[in-house]
């Protein structure tokens, strides 16, 4: 007897084309006839039952897979994906923090006290004409010119978008397809894994050493590789120029798109680097101004090959179209105003000073922290789950599930680490509080090896 699913599909099939068959399967899923996790019937069976050619059914199955509706896994066959299930939510967990703590080292956000004042830029908005048309240039010409003069390679195409996350999302959705292989650094920025999982790509972990990503790991056929050229979050490693050149040599002549997320932007003490110097036709370079000029401006600039930026511009037409030119004018003002420039420069030095101070204190406690740049440090700990928990509080399972490692790497043994953001404690007494927080982190690390330390802390 014909099963309910095939009857429902046949009922919803308007014409005998792959597109219509994929639509009919989609409707069967919406109607609940076909549930998430259930296997699609074999191509031959569907072809015979619905009097279609196996090629048409196979093309329909490919459309469903490409749209993320189904997933093909060797042993389990082609199954329906649960697109309504909440994502792993690494992004939410990253932003979620315990406001009640005296010192929270888990935030990864810039220090608001180090951002330049917006007062001058806002005052100027009231005296100059305001672009207000759908037809105006999406990027302010002066801003575009200034950015290109200060870009790490001679780019020709440049867009302004709503922050680095927006840029990554636009590039992922415009240039990547379900099933593509994409390499990300290990460890990496957790929201990037969320985003790539949502697009349905296969994530490949890219190990790093002190000079940047390990070129030996770039052997697989990759649709894209996502790099953070400086102040990598969470390790603070900045890619050395010679490493950038070796990666460019390896990727030259491949189809791999290089996506560079310079999220630290002007807060970084390292010279801007880009593989675009050697491979401008393969490189998308993103510079965020969130950490340096304010997360609420939420602006980033992005250069890249004309085809990718063209696809991004086309995709943006379905949404906001462009980033507010009022905000662009504020950014332009901040990038050219001497007071704002010296505030950003002071912030850069202050972050570097804080980083050195915390890293040196940890070193004195026997804890070695790698990396040299940015607002995060990657601290080795004895127990990652425990280090996610505020001291003295019972386990918080939500936060302990956070991972800054690409899922593909979860199989092997790893030295355990915890990201921390170096910042002063609120309301004074910073050094002592910082020291005790570091001691808690370091203590967990020390417990691993030093029984005397275990007894001291237990007591």
Ligand X SMILES: Cc1ncc(COP(=O)(O)O)c(C=O)c1O
Question: Quick one: 46 or 172, whose CB is closer to ligand X?
Answer: 172
* Least Cβ distance, residue 374 to ligand X (angstroms): 8
Could you tell me which of 113, 201, 190 has the C-alpha nearest to residue 426?
113
Count each helix (H run) and each strand (E run) in the chain, helices first: 18, 12
Give the integer Cα–Cα distance in Å for 214 and 454: 36
* Least Cβ distance, residue 143 to ligand X (angstroms): 16
* Least Cβ distance, residue 258 to ligand X (angstroms): 15
Q: Say whether residue 288 binds ligand X (CB under 6 A).
A: yes
Q: Is 186 helix (H, G, I), strand (E, B) or coil?
A: strand
Q: Say whether residue 131 binds ligand X (CB under 6 A).
A: no
Q: For strand 181-186 and strand 212-213, is the pairing parallel, antiparallel, or unpaired? A: unpaired
Question: Quick one: 138 or 179, whose CB is closer to ligand X?
Answer: 138
Nearest residue to ligand X, by Cβ distance, number only: 163
Q: Say whether residue 228 binds ligand X (CB under 6 A).
A: yes
Among 108, 187, 236, 304, binds ligand X (CB under 6 A): 108
CB-CB neighbours of 48 under 10 Å? 13
Question: Quick one: 256 or 376, whose CB is closer to ligand X?
Answer: 376
- Six token digits for residue 97: 């923090």
SS3 content of the chain, % helix, strand, coil (to 5): 45, 15, 40
∠ CA 58-64-65, rounded to 5°: 90
Question: Is residue 236 within 8 Å of residue 372, measured between CB atoms?
Answer: yes
Question: Quick one: 191 or 280, whose CB is closer to ligand X?
Answer: 191
Q: Say whether residue 56 binds ligand X (CB under 6 A).
A: no
Q: Say whether residue 300 binds ligand X (CB under 6 A).
A: yes
DSSP assignment, residue 271?
A: P
Q: Which of residues 144-163 bind ligand X (CB under 6 A)?
A: 163
Length of the chain: 459
Q: Say whether residue 263 binds ligand X (CB under 6 A).
A: yes
Please tell me the count of residues contacting ligand X according to CB under 6 A.
Answer: 13
Give the integer Cα–Cα distance in Å for 23 and 19: 6
Among 18, 40, 114, 165, binds ligand X (CB under 6 A): 165
Question: Quick one: 261 or 373, whose CB is closer to ligand X?
Answer: 261
Stretch that binds ligand X, among 142-150, 288-296, 314-322, 415-423 (CB under 6 A): 288-296
* Least Cβ distance, residue 72 to ligand X (angstroms): 31
Among 111, 169, 261, 373, binds ligand X (CB under 6 A): 261
Cα Rg, the chain, nearest whole Å = 25
Among 47, 104, 143, 189, binds ligand X (CB under 6 A): 189
Give the integer Cα–Cα distance in Å for 136 and 115: 30
Task: Write out the E strands in 95-192.
Answer: 158-161, 181-186
Question: Quick one: 228 or 270, whose CB is closer to ligand X?
Answer: 228
Q: Say whether residue 237 binds ligand X (CB under 6 A).
A: no
DSSP assignment, residue 386?
A: H
Interaction site with ligand X (CB under 6 A): 108, 163-165, 189, 228, 233, 261, 263, 288, 290, 295, 300
């Amino acid at each position: 007897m014909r099963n309910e699913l095939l009857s429902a599909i046949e009922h919803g099939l308007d014409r005998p084309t792959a597109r219509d068959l994929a639509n009919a399967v989609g409707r069967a899923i919406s109607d609940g006839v076909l549930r998430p996790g259930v296997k699609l019937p074999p191509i031959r069976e569907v072809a015979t039952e619905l009097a279609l050619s196996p090629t048409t059914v196979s093309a329909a199955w490919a459309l469903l897979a490409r749209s993320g509706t189904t997933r093909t896994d060797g042993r389990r066959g082609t199954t329906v994906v649960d697109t309504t299930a909440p994502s792993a939510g690494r992004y939410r967990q990253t932003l979620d923090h315990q406001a009640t703590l005296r010192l929270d080292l888990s935030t990864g956000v810039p220090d608001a006290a180090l951002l330049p004042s917006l007062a001058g830029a806002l005052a100027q908005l009231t005296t100059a004409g305001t672009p207000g048309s759908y037809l105006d240039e999406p990027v302010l010409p002066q801003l575009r010119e200034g950015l290109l003069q200060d870009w790490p390679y001679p780019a020709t195409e440049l867009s302004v978008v709503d922050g680095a996350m927006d840029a990554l999302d636009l590039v992922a959705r415009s240039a990547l397809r379900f099933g593509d292989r994409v390499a990300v650094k290990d460890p990496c920025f957790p929201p990037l894994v969320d985003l790539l999982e949502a697009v349905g790509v296969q994530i490949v972990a890219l190990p790093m050493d002190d000079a940047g990503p390990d070129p030996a790991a770039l052997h697989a056929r990759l649709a894209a590789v996502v790099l953070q050229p400086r102040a990598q979050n969470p390790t603070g490693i900045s890619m050395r120029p010679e490493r950038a050149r070796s990666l460019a040599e390896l990727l030259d002549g491949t189809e791999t798109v290089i996506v560079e997320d310079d999220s630290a932007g002007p807060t970084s003490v390292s010279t801007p680097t880009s593989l675009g110097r050697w491979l401008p036709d393969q490189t998308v370079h993103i510079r965020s101004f969130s950490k340096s000029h304010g997360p609420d401006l939420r602006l980033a600039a992005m250069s890249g090959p004309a085809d990718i930026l063209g696809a991004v511009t086309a995709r943006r037409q379905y949404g906001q179209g462009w980033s507010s030119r009022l905000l662009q004018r504020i950014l332009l003002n901040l990038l050219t105003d001497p007071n704002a420039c010296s505030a950003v420069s002071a912030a850069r030095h202050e972050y570097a000073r804080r980083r050195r101070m915390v890293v040196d204190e940890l070193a004195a406690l026997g804890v070695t922290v790698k990396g040299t740049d940015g607002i995060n440090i990657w601290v080795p700990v004895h127990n990652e789950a425990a280090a996610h928990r505020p001291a003295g509080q019972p386990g918080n399972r939500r936060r302990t599930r956070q991972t800054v490692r690409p899922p593909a790497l979860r199989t092997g043994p790893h030295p355990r680490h915890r990201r921390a953001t170096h910042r002063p404690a609120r309301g004074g007494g910073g050094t002592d509080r910082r020291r005790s927080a570091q001691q808690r982190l370091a203590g967990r690390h020390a417990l691993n090896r030093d029984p005397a330390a275990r007894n001291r802390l237990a007591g």
